[in-house]
Amino acid sequence: MDNAVCKLVGVDFPLFAFSHCRDVVVAVSRAGGFGVLGASSFSPEQLEQELAWIDAHVDGRPYGVDILFPQTQQAQPGMVLEDFVARIPERHIDFVVDLLATHGVRLGRDEAVRRSLPPTAPDSAEELLAVAFGHPIRLIANALGIAPPIMIERAHVAGVPVAALVGAKEHALRQAQAGVNILVAQGTEAGGHCGEISTMVLTPEVIRAVAPYGAPPVLAAGGIMTGQQMAGAMAMGAQGVWTGSVWLATTEAETSPVLREKMVEARSSDTVRSRARTGKPCRQLRSAWHDAWDRPGAPETLPLPLMPMLSTPALRRADRAAEAGSPGARELVTYEMGQGIGLIEAVTSSADVVQQFKTDFADAYENFTRTVEGDPAAG
């Protein structure tokens, strides 16, 4: 393809794949898509290792990095780990320890809070940004607020396009005014942090809203799992798609075998938009974890970045117990994922997913063309 977004990032097929797994990023980019590494689950040192590995294995193909600079969170520059830990109430720690015990999983109170500086804290995010620009990335992306000036300025100096995820046209307008190069219209069907507007409505709304601002290219996101959906999004005016959940059921993904089994079994209605993982509305596979936080008498969820400091150790411990065969722990297993999981029928490789997208896109395009122009063979 030869549209604006393809030219900006140097890709032929504008299938963007967000993943926390370097193997998925490399596999997608090598297969002709565009892998984007979610960096906010890493420390700066870990991110350096991940990007060095990608550079060594991606065969020069383009890839990008996504770093979270949340606009609203309980974190200020200069805060140290002890400042965050002190803000987590004892009641919340007791609740998590008791919840896991109810499902046969032991978690000590001294293990219940993550003992590392939150990667979304301002100082951490800036360190991650510095690491990212030390590598030949072709895109830097941000979510949960306006892309900060430090990101936009450094990216433009380096000649790297900036992408931003938006959940409403008002967000898109502010991002365009800030100088963002690519907008990702992420509907409520999406896994992870999302708003309340569907992809089908949000995509054309964003495209129309930013037209007076030089019309930065728009990618559609939210529940997109097939090439047919990609073709439909581009028929609405999107210049490509941003995907995430579809890669969680691949052989390269960081997800556990238990989670992949649950994904294949799940229906589209088995996700929930909840604050019980990050403190912000985040679509996930529904589990006993979410049910517990929703019950009367449960503590209020904590804001970002405190809630992930509490949820991450607990859910990781549940994952390990589930892999060891604990049926109670399996009920707790969850992950950020969108409503498109109802379209996942089997676990396959990332390269096969890219190829299936290409094939299904081409078939959908041909079918649409025949419908509009008429089928000469039928005459």
pLDDT single digits (tens) 58-83: 999 999 999 887 555 555 677 778 88
Taking each helix axis from N to C end, the angle separating 22-30 and 350-373, rounded to the nearest 10 degrees, works out to: 50
pLDDT single digits (tens) 270-292: 999 999 999 999 999 999 999 99
Determine contact, residues 236/203, Cβ cutoff 8 Å.
Answer: yes
pLDDT single digits (tens) 228-255: 999 999 999 999 999 999 999 999 999 9
Q: How many CA atoms lie within 13 A of 326 on its CB side?
A: 20
Two tokens, residue 92 = 């919340």
- State yes or no: pLDDT of 125 exceeds 80: no
Residue ranges per structural domain of the chain = 4-78+118-246+350-357
pLDDT at 304: 85
Q: How many CA atoms lie within 13 A of 346 on its CB side?
A: 4
pLDDT single digits (tens) 127-148: 888 999 999 999 999 987 787 8
Distance between CA atoms of residues 35 and 66, nearest Å: 10
In this structure, of 164-168, 212-216, 260-264, 338-342, the range with the lowest mean pLDDT score is 212-216
Q: What percent of the chain has pLDDT over 90?
A: 77
Q: Which of 270, 280, 275 has the alpha carbon at shortest distance from 331?
A: 270
pLDDT single digits (tens) 73-124: 555 677 778 888 999 999 999 999 999 999 999 999 999 999 887 766 666 7
Q: What percent of the chain has pLDDT over 70?
A: 95
Determine contact, residues 202/187, Cβ cutoff 8 Å.
Answer: yes
CA 95 to chain centre: 28
pLDDT at 379: 45
CATH number of 4-78+118-246+350-357: 3.20.20.70
Cα distances (Å, whole numbers) of residue 122 to 37, 164, 239: 19, 17, 32
Q: Identity (one letter) of the amino acid at 217?
A: P
Sign of CA dihedral 148, 150, 154, 156: positive
Two tokens, residue 135 = 């590598």
pLDDT at 65: 96
